[in-house]
Amino acid sequence: MEMLMERKLNIRDTKKHYSELNNAVLNGLEMVTFKGINKNAKNDEEVSHIKTPYVDFLMGFLKFNPITESGEELGGFTISLNEIDMYGEGSTIESAKEDLMNTICEYISIYLNQIDLFGKVESISKQVYMLKLIRCDGNRDKIMKEIGL
Strand 86-90: give its sheet, edge to edge.
67-71, 76-81, 86-90
pTM of the model: 0.85
- Looking at the structure, do residues 29 and 50 belong to the same domain, yes or no? yes
Is residue 62 domain-resident? no
- Looking at the structure, do residues 39 and 79 belong to the same domain, yes or no? no
Distance of CA 49 to the CA centre of its chain: 15
- Looking at the structure, do residues 97 and 126 belong to the same domain, yes or no? yes
Q: Note the pLDDT tens digit of each residue in 81-134.
A: 999 999 999 999 999 999 999 999 999 999 999 999 998 899 999 999 999 999
Q: Quick one: which H or E segment has residue 115?
A: helix 115-121
The domain of 123 spans 67-146
The C-alpha atoms of residue 36 and residue 99 are separated, in whole angstroms, by 44
Domain count, the chain: 2
Q: Note the pLDDT tens digit of each residue in 18-42.
A: 999 999 999 999 999 988 765 565 6
Cβ burial, residue 133 (10 Å; 0-12/13-18/19+): buried
